[in-house]
Amino acid sequence: MAFEGLADRLQSTIKKMTGKGKVSEQDVKEMAREVRLALLEADVNFKVVKDFVKKIKERSVGAEVMDSLTPGQQVIKIVKEELALLMGGEQSKIKVADRPPTVIMMVGLQGAGKTTTSGKLANLLRKKHNRKPLLVACDVYRPAAIDQLETVGKQLGIPVFSQGTEKKPVDIAKEAIAHAKEEHLDYVIVDTAGRLHIDENLMGELTEIKTEINPDEIFLVVDAMTGQDAVNVAETFDQTLDVTGVVLTKLDGDTRGGAALSIRAVTDKPIKFAGMGEKLDELEAFHPERMASRILG
Ligand code: GDP
């Protein structure tokens, strides 16, 4: 299960606070130290941990006694609130175009889960929001990637726009948008090429697509299992493309939590969705507060 170690450690740390009718500075110091260690062990970015611990310390030392909560409970509430804020606070929704179709460009490294997530997102938009999506195959370098998207589309009964491997991705994307307009489709989800590592060619191509199609959203798909690597990848993609949101995949795995807890603070981009399994209905809107509750119990 995701966050297991972190959840165990944080829960046992804050449990010690529950019954406290008085919270001394020493109590706060001890708690802060344990929280710090728990986060570092979960592979959370060093600077993010430092800022986080500073905040909970400041707020906890000054914690007011409230009628309904003991000071100990108050401190727990502070940790929970700050944990949710660390992951973005409020849920971040898709920015919808004034006039359809809303164009969403999916980017990320190969293997992160881009193609699967494109399918999942289309499925979610249709099922939950009753929208008509179009999937677009722009990874022209890997015929297998095009086949994979077509298979996903078939499984879901969602149209896939593909033009083989001969055309330029940017032209395929433009034609797909024109096609979606003609067909009165609401969303165009562009599955772009990924590589095993970030390289200049890939970034050049993605920049060209972005410039030409001017998407409403650019979602970076990252594998939560890769911890701080995911955060570094996110930083680089964001510097070049100025992404609008992040999708964390494989949160059903036993990820320690480093990516989920660092990526927002490091990139300042919202986590919009979480992949919770391989199946095409296993994508959830990312709710920072619920995630914080899941971690803290
Ligand atoms: P792409 O190369 O980025 O397009 O990645 P794919 O969409 O092909 O996904 C790579 C692998 O990760 C596949 O085996 C997917 O089934 C798997 N995958 C994608 N998202 C998730 C997820 O949320 N949970 C799990 N467990 N597996 C996932």
DSSP calls for 60-111: HHTPPP-SSS-HHHHHHHHHHHHHHHHTTSS--PPPPPSSSPEEEEEE--TT
Give the model's pLDDT for residue 75.
86
Atom of ligand 1 nearest to the CA of 145: 4
CA of 131 to the centre of ligand 1 (A): 24
- Which token pair is 222? 């990252």
Residues paired with residue 221 on neighbouring β-strands, in sequence order: 247
Q: Which residues are annotated as a binding site for GTP?
A: 108-115, 191-195, 249-252
**Binding-site residues, ligand 1, Cβ < 6 A:** 108, 110-116, 194, 249-250, 252-253, 275-278
CA of 74 to the centre of ligand 1 (A): 40
Helix axes 71-86, 25-41, angle to 10 degrees: 30
- Determine contact, residues 97/216, Cβ cutoff 8 Å: yes
Closest protein CA for atom 14 of ligand 1 = 278
Q: Are β-strands 283-285 and 271-275 bridged in parallel, bridged antiparallel, or unpaired? A: antiparallel
* pLDDT band with cut points at 50, 70 and 90 for residue 66: low
pLDDT tens figures, 5-21: 999 999 999 888 887 77
Q: What pTM was computed for the model?
A: 0.95
Q: Which H or E element spans position 118?
A: helix 114-129
Atom of ligand 1 nearest to the CA of 116: 7
CA of 279 to the centre of ligand 1 (A): 9
CA of 283 to the centre of ligand 1 (A): 11
Instruction: For residues 14 and 81, give the distance between their C-alpha atoms in angstroms, rounded to a whole number.
Output: 13
Q: What integer best gives the mean pLDDT of the chain? A: 93
CA of 280 to the centre of ligand 1 (A): 10
Best of 107, 116, 189 for a ligand 1 pocket test (most atoms within 8 Å of beta carbon): 116
Residue 288, preceding peptide bond in cis (omega within 30° of 0): no
Helix axes 4-18, 71-86, angle to 10 degrees: 150
pLDDT tens figures, 200-248: 999 999 999 999 999 999 999 999 999 999 999 999 999 999 999 999 9
- Whether 48 shows a pLDDT value over 80: the answer reads yes
Q: Which residues are annotated as a binding site?
A: 108-115, 191-195, 249-252
